[in-house]
């Protein structure tokens, strides 16, 4: 996750209001690394998550709809509070 990985997270309901999209992308600083960029409704990147860490920590093993839902729920529950100030 960008900036501070540790800290406080937005309540799920607020994260839903703030987050417009979660996109899997190539890390521009490391083409061999994948990340999940999180965007707000103004199409501004508000934070990012390391792909491998999220897959591991969320316990995702597939690519079906259930895995995508699990991924989304994990990220939405880990949106840092500081995104509303950025």
pLDDT for 67-83, tens place per residue?
999 999 999 999 999 99
As to burial, measured by CB atoms within 10 angstroms (0-12 exposed, 13-18 middle, 19+ buried), residue 16 is exposed
- Does this model's pTM top 0.95? My answer is no
How does DSSP classify residue 80? B
25 located within any domain: yes
Structural domain boundaries enclosing 79:
12-85
Is residue 48, in this structure, part of any structural domain at all? yes
- Is 47 part of any domain? yes
In this prediction, residue 31 carries a pLDDT of 84
Phi, psi of 7 (to 5 degrees): 135, -165
In tens, the pLDDT along 52-65 reads 999 999 999 988 89
* H helix or E strand, kind and range, residue 64: none
Question: Is residue 5 situated within a structural domain?
Answer: no
Whether residue 56 is contained in a domain is answered as yes
- Position 49 in a domain: yes
Domain annotation covers residue 6: no
| 3 within a domain of the structure (yes/no) | no
Task: Give the confidence band of 85 by pLDDT, cuts at 50, 70, 90.
Answer: confident
If one counts the domains in the chain, the total is 1
């Amino acid at each position: 996750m960008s900036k501070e990985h540790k800290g406080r997270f937005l309540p799920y309901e607020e994260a839903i209001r703030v987050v417009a999209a979660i996109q899997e992308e190539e890390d521009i600083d490391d083409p061999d690394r994948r990340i999940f960029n999180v965007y707000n409704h103004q199409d501004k990147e508000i934070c990012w998550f390391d792909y491998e860490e999220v897959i591991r920590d969320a316990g995702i093993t597939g690519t079906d709809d259930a895995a995508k839902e699990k991924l989304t729920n994990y990220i939405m529950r880990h949106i840092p509070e500081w995104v509303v100030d950025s």
